[in-house]
Amino acid sequence: MGWVLLVAGLVLWCGAHLFKRIAPELRTRAGDPGKGAITVLILLSVVLMWIGYRRAGIVDLWFPPPWTVHINNLLMLVAVFLIDLGFSRGVLRTKLRHPMLTAIKIWAVAHLLVNGDLASVILFGGMLAWAVVTVILINKQDRAWTPPERGPVRNDIIYGSVALVIFAVIIYIHNWLGVWPLPG
């Protein structure tokens, strides 16, 4: 049952997120109630993926070497920094068109480096594929990109400090869930 929930959650996540790109007219006609429905579907997809991932049986495909944990943590720090960079008003936001989707891609690759089981390949590989497809669709539909106004470097430093705190919270949550993400 875990596998079904995992795949169903992933399909629901992709469908809910890609709906705006695949059927923009229908999405526009749905208005605010449509946004609410999409939000509920996305939340449901996260719950399904989480439950499905936890319940899926362990099917090892490969055994990542221990040193990949270091690369994972470095990539995760970058992903945490990028995830909300779009809301930052500093210099770095003007350099990257899709910071959140780039963060998802980095997050997925980082987790694929340290998890060699089938459930991880399905979850993180599926999220990576979704993020790549989404970037392609956005760039195809909205070819021109105007970077936002440049803000002070100080905002990037503040934002980086906040990202470090969020990274520490993520480590704590992983530990609470029974997965210690740091080497040692």
Specify whether 110 is located in the same domain as 76. yes
Residue closest to 165 by CA, chosen among 173, 154, 176: 173
The count of domains in the chain is: 2
Specify whether 139 is located in the same domain as 72. yes
d(C-alpha 81, C-alpha 53), whole Å? 25
Q: Which helix (H) or strand (E) holds 133?
A: helix 118-141
Specify whether 13 is located in the same domain as 88. no
Specify whether 65 is located in the same domain as 85. yes
The pLDDT-based confidence of 184 (bands split at 50, 70, 90) is low
24-66 pLDDT, tens digit per residue, is 787 778 777 778 889 999 999 999 999 999 999 899 999 999 9
User: Which of 35, 57, 79 lies at the terminal end of a domain, its last residue?
Assistant: 57
77-129 pLDDT, tens digit per residue, is 999 999 878 778 888 888 888 999 999 999 999 999 999 999 999 999 999 99
Specify whether 3 is located in the same domain as 85. no
- Structural domain range at position 37: 1-57
78 or 142: which leads in pLDDT: 78
Specify whether 176 is located in the same domain as 106. yes
User: Which of 39, 57, 75 lies at the terminal end of a domain, its last residue?
Assistant: 57
- Contact of 81 with 160, CB cutoff 8 Å: yes
Q: Is the pLDDT of residue 178 over 70?
A: yes
Report angle CA 116, 120, 126 to the nearest 5 degrees.
125
User: Which of 32, 57, 82 lies at the terminal end of a domain, its last residue?
Assistant: 57
Specify whether 120 is located in the same domain as 30. no
The pLDDT-based confidence of 159 (bands split at 50, 70, 90) is confident
Looking at residue 107, its pLDDT comes to 96
Specify whether 34 is located in the same domain as 65. no
Specify whether 173 is located in the same domain as 88. yes
Specify whether 36 is located in the same domain as 1. yes
Specify whether 119 is located in the same domain as 35. no
- Contact of 7 with 127, CB cutoff 8 Å: no
